[in-house]
Chains A and B, each alone.
Chain A
Amino acid sequence: MTPGQRRWLFLAAMACLAVFLVWGLAGLPGFGDYPGPYGDIINRIAVSQTNATGVVSAINFEYRGFDTVGEEFILFVAAAGVATVLRRLRGEREGPARDEAAGRELQPTSEAVRVVALALTGPAVVMGWYLASHAQTSPSGGFQGGVVLATAFVLVYLGGQFLAFERISPVDLTDAVEALGAGGFAAVGIAAMVMGLPYLQNFLPLGTVPGAVSSSGTIALISFFVGVEVAAAFVLIVGELLDQTLLVRQGSE
C-alpha cells in the first residue's frame, strides 16, 4: 500500500468514526439530566438503611459490594502479576543500590527534598488511615486511603534511601499483608454466608447514630480491609519497580 492510499484509508476511517461519534453524542441525555430511578432511590434510603452518611461508600461496600470484590481482586492479581514478571531471572544479578540517570552525573538527594519528604511522611500516614477508616462518614474510603498510605513509603524512599524503603517494607511481609487485605474482604462476605445470610450481607450492628464513626457495620470493616490491601499492593508494585531500577543488572554488564 502506498502512502497516498494509506492516507485515503485513514481519512475515510476517520470520517466514519466522526459520523458515529456525532450520532452517538447527539443521542446522549441532556447535561445534568439523570434518567434512572436507582440513584434517586438510593439517595432516599441509603442513610436510614445503613447508617452510613458516606453514601458512595455505602454503595461501593454494601449495595454493589460483590462488584467491589471483583475490582479488589483485579488490583490483587495485578500486583501479583508485577511481582511474578519482575522476579529476579537467571542472568540477572543485584548490585549495590544506586540511582542512575542516563547521561548525567549522579546527584545526591538535596536537603530540601529530604526535609519535605520527612515532613510529609507522618501526615501521609495519618491522612491515609483517616481516609481508609472514615468511609462511612465521608466521601473517602479504603481505596483512596490505601494509596495515600502507600505514598508514605514512597516518601521514605525519596527522603532517605532505598535501603530504608526495603527495611520498612520487606517483600514477604508486604505480600502477606496484601493477601490479608484481599482475603479479609472476601472473608467478610463468607462470614455472612456462614450466618445464613446472602454473600456480603451486612451482619454487624449498624450503630444508632447515622454518621458516627462506629456506625454502618461491615461497610467500615470492608473499607479497612480494602485500605490495607490497596496500600500493600501499591507498596509492592513500587518496590518491585524500584528493585528493577536500582538493583537488578543484566548479567552481561
Chain B
Amino acid sequence: MPRINLILLLVVVLCALSTVTSNHSARKLFTELEREQNRMRQLEVEWGQLQLEQSTWAAHARVAKIARDRLGMKAPASGQVVAVEAGK
C-alpha cells in the first residue's frame, strides 16, 4: 500500500512539472509569434513606404520630363501609327 502511494506521488510530481514546462514553452512560443507579427507589421509599413517611393519615382510628370529632355523621345505623329487588330 505505501509503495503504490509513493508511485502515485511521483506521477503527480512529474505531471505537475510537465505542466510547468509546457506552459513555459507555450509562453516562449507565444512571445516568438508576437515578435514575428511585429516584424510582419513593420514589413507592411516598409512595403507601403516603398510603394510611396516607387510612385514618386514613377510620377508621370517625372517620366515625361526624362523621356522628353534626356532621352529625346516624342509621341509619334498620327501618320506613323499602325493599328493592329487583336487576334488576327
Co-assembled chains A and B: no
